[in-house]
Structures are given as structure tokens and as C-alpha cells.
Amino acid sequence: MTFLPTLPGFLPGRIRYTPPVVSLIVANLVTTGLAIVQGWDPLVVLFIFWAQSLIIGFFSAVSLLFADTELIAAEMGKAGAEAGRNPQMGKGRIWLFKIAVAVFFCIHFGLFHLFYFILFFWNDTFSPATVMGTAVILALALFFFTHFFSLLWSWRATPKGGQFMADSILLPYNRIVPMHLTMILGFAISSLLGVLGFLTLLPVLVVFMLLKTYMDARMHTVLHERQEHPEDRQLLFVWF
């Protein structure tokens, strides 16, 4: 299913309107509506989507921890046997492996977002504590619920073995990079218009929030297609 029948040549890719994707679109549209009603600064919007990325990373780490221990043990045992090593893999060893991979991912993903935070939010004019009002908390709660629902919805879609763990590490970056490039571009254009003296930047911001909504839904579709067809390597890095 395409995003909109009237825009097949303008918006690349396609979107499958599964319940998780629909809930994600709703969360984005509600956030856009709140930005209009509240008159949010572009930095507030960027902060919300930065926090959404942390939510994505959190559930990716949860997925790593709850990967199929027995399947991973069988896969590692088979690889060990082929290499002439002991094929027996205890559950304790597999759990240590899963914890180590999850910790590595959290550190790497966390440093990526720490740099992002310092680049955009580490200044005297913006403080997350001052923007955490009811509307911002509502937007973040919607994104948290959406990604939690998506995790539950897709949990039985594919075996949770070694390939699943590799995808859980790589796909979050594949997803958030185009999403944030869109919002950073919108932030840069809004800032430039502000310097040039434009009184309102909200229309430009809303346009880029809607583009971000499309990219969010598109990448969510790619994520679930990858989970359903892990053998398709073309789905590993698809940005549009």
C-alpha cells in the first residue's frame, strides 16, 4: 500500500498500514498538532524526536536481552562444531553474551545521542527541564506506548536468533539517521528564516514534521518487513 494514492511520484517507497504503523502516524500527528497549538520552538520539537530515538534504542536493547536463548545456543553450538570446538553452549553463557551485546549497544547508541544532545541542547537558551510540560510529556508518552506496542505486535514475527540480534543493533541507526536528517534540515531552515526576520516559523516546522512522519512510518514498515524476511539483505539499509 502506498502512502497516498495521489502522491506516488513524490514520496518514494511505500507504507504498510499495520496497527503499529498507524499508531506511530497518530503519535506524530498529535505531536504536530501540539506544536501548532502550543507554538513550540523548533528546539522543543527536535528534543522530542531526540527523546523518541532514545525510546527506540531502549526497546532495541530490550529485544537483545529477550532474544531466543535456546536458538542462539543452537546456532553458536553449530558454528562451534564446524570450527572443531565444543558445540555445547550453556544458557548462562548465552545470557552473558546477550547482556554484553546489549551493554555495547547501549554505550554506542548512548554516545551517539550524547553528542547529539551536546550539539543542539547544551546551551544557555534551552533546558529540557523547562520544556517538560504536560504537552511534551504527552507526546513522549505516545511515542513510548507506540514503540512498546510495536515490540509486542512483531515479537512472534521471526525467530529471535543471531541474525535478529545483529538487526536489532543495526536497524535503529538505519531508522533514526534519515528521520533526524529531515528534522535537522527543518531546524536549520527555520533558524535561517528567523535570522532573516520572518515572524513565524511554524508553517515550515509543520511541513518538516509531516515529512518526518512519513519517514518514520516508512522506516517502521522497513523494520517489520526485515523482521518478516530476514534473508532479504536489501532491506537492511533502505532509507526510502
The rounded distance, in Å, linking the Cα atoms of 101 and 163 is: 13
**pLDDT single digits (tens) 23-50:** 999 999 999 999 888 888 878 888 888 8
Q: What's the pTM?
A: 0.78
pLDDT, residue 5, reads 39
Q: Which of 3-17, 53-67, 102-116 has the lowest mean pLDDT?
A: 3-17
**pLDDT single digits (tens) 127-147:** 766 677 888 999 999 999 999
Cβ atoms of 218 and 15 closer than 8 Å: yes
| 11 pLDDT above the threshold of 50 | no
The rounded distance, in Å, linking the Cα atoms of 68 and 164 is: 9
Cβ atoms of 47 and 138 closer than 8 Å: no
Instruction: Output 53 or 206, whichever has higher pLDDT.
Output: 53
The dihedrals phi and psi of 157, each to the nearest 5 degrees, come to -70, -30
